[in-house]
Structure 1
């Protein structure tokens, strides 16, 4: 069963488009840099053609994970899911940097049984027990998606990667960005440098200008890339990777969406 799934997944991976997703996913904070020892921040989450324009679908928050500066988990409050956007608040009670991420992952499998198309999604360890022995046209892909942003109360603090999927590792802190200045980040994939990935960077506010003003850069051998911010505003960054199955390894698909604020 495992070899049959891997073989069909390899063929299917080449047939899929390289675009990470049909619409752009984003988490937009009301503020990213705050002073004092106690503050509140609100967040909007959605999926749309234009970043930060809530006109397509609300973001499901099933995988919302908030990491406080000391590494503990913080909880969202006043959560609401609307037609075009989801919203929630976060009470900042520790000084340092909070990582707010909506993460999903696992294995997606499509197959046919008795001529009927079926799908299953879950943990890779549970896959063999949930795919019928008489399944045909089995296509399996291990996936990971991360949409995140960062908020700092007081002095910025370190951000520790989880080692799963594509992640942003700061060289320049994501809450210390200014227009006209260069910032450097690293992308890692499952904890290792993500070399030669295309990174798309888009500034919000496209509804009010004709030029989308998107930038594209590529990561180096160590996963690093540098961008000089042309204007203040909220920026969306995206990178994705898709690899075919190889031997006993399933096909793999991962996407990263990050939101940072650039101040004047």
Structure 2
């Protein structure tokens, strides 16, 4: 029981930066639907309010921009300021681009005498920096993914990579309209992920007394449907845990997924 509570506390501490009550990570393109060869500017931040720059920039060392043909596009004019990271993309191909910023890591707590030590880092660093004989060692593995989608011209299919927690569109993410239902599917390591809680928050919370979030649950096939109440940008988040770790010392894996979606007027 004590070990379970400690894991729960460690998982809760990791979850705070991505919870609806705390800081929110996001990628925000200047436009999600353009004509081929146009440029878009993308802002990346972690903020107190969705789509406002008021906390820290999102580090995009692991950003991958995948073009419609599967090639990787390099961002231009990359800059990191006090509150946001920004970069430009030229959408030279017709079709849909996936922008995905992912990370994998470990968090641990252990005792040195009566003092609790906390550690974060990679699996490689774990072997070097955490004592092999650490007492009361608790290790949590984490995998995060922050995404958005941009279409130049005609939308094209998006291919999942089958790792971690993913959003698999049934309705194309750049074909969303106010008042219409859109359908998506959640997978974990390529398999349907039923019973997951999905939180969707519309932009503009800075000017509202409450977040007006929508809360949904994936069905037995990992699918869910959402009818967009109005046009605008939306922040979508899913967080879950399981025991499918790749490090023997880690007993839990925390998976998080965030997407920015734009809903157009009819």
Residues 14-29 of structure 1 mapped to structure 2, 5 A cutoff: 14-15=8-9, 16-17=11-12, 20-21=18-19, 22-29=22-29
SS in 2 for 1:14: helix
Comparing 248-257 and 137-146, the one that deviates more: 248-257
CA contact (8 A) 1:10 1:245 kept: no
Q: Is the 8 A contact 1:14 1:244 kept in 2?
A: no
Three-state SS of the structure 2 residue aligned to 1:12 is: helix
Which runs of structure 2 are paired with 1:71-220 in the superposition (5 Å)? Answer: 71-113=70-112, 117=117, 119-123=119-123, 127-128=126-127, 131-220=130-219
How far residue 105 of structure 1 moved from its aligned partner, in angstroms, is 0.7
Q: CA deviation at 1:162?
A: 1.6
- Which structure carries more relative contact order (alpha carbon 8 Å, separation 6+)? 1
Find the aligned partners of 1:220 and 1:80 in 2 and give their Cα distance.
41
TM-score, reference length from structure 1: 0.88
Are the equivalent residues in 2 in contact too, given 1:112–1:135 (CA < 8 A)? yes
Contact 1:9/1:245 (<8 A) preserved: no
Q: Distance in 2 between matches of 1:66 and 1:94?
A: 13
- Residues 13 and 244, structure 1, Cα contact 8 Å, conserved in 2: no
* Deviation string, structure 1 residues 195-216 (Cα, Å, up to 9, x no partner): 1111111110122333432111
Query: What TM-score, normalized to structure 2?
Result: 0.87
SS in 1 for 2:206: helix
Structure 1 residues 195 and 76, CA gap change in structure 2 (3 angstroms): same
User: Structure 1 residue 62: deviation in Å?
Assistant: 1.5
How far the C-alpha of 1:161 sits from its partner, in A, is 1.2
Shift of residue 126, structure 1, vs aligned partner: 6.7
Residue-pair matches, total: 256
Deviation at 1:106, TM superposition (A): 2.9
Deviations 1:30-76 (A, max 9, x none): 000112x3110111111122210111111111111111111111111
- Among 2, 7, 27, the residue aligned to 1:13: 7
Alignment check: 8 A CA contact 1:147 1:257 kept: yes
CA distance in 1 between partners of 2:132 and 2:23 (Å): 35
Distance 2:195 2:49 in 1: 25
| Distance in 1 (alpha carbons) for counterparts of 2:2 and 2:129 | 17
Larger displacement relative to structure 2 (50-59 or 240-249): 240-249
CA RMSD of aligned residues (A): 2.5
Larger CA deviation: 173-182 vs 47-56: 47-56
Alignment of structure 1 residues 213-252 onto 2, 5 Å: 213-243=212-242, 250-252=251-253
- Match of residue 257 from structure 2: 256
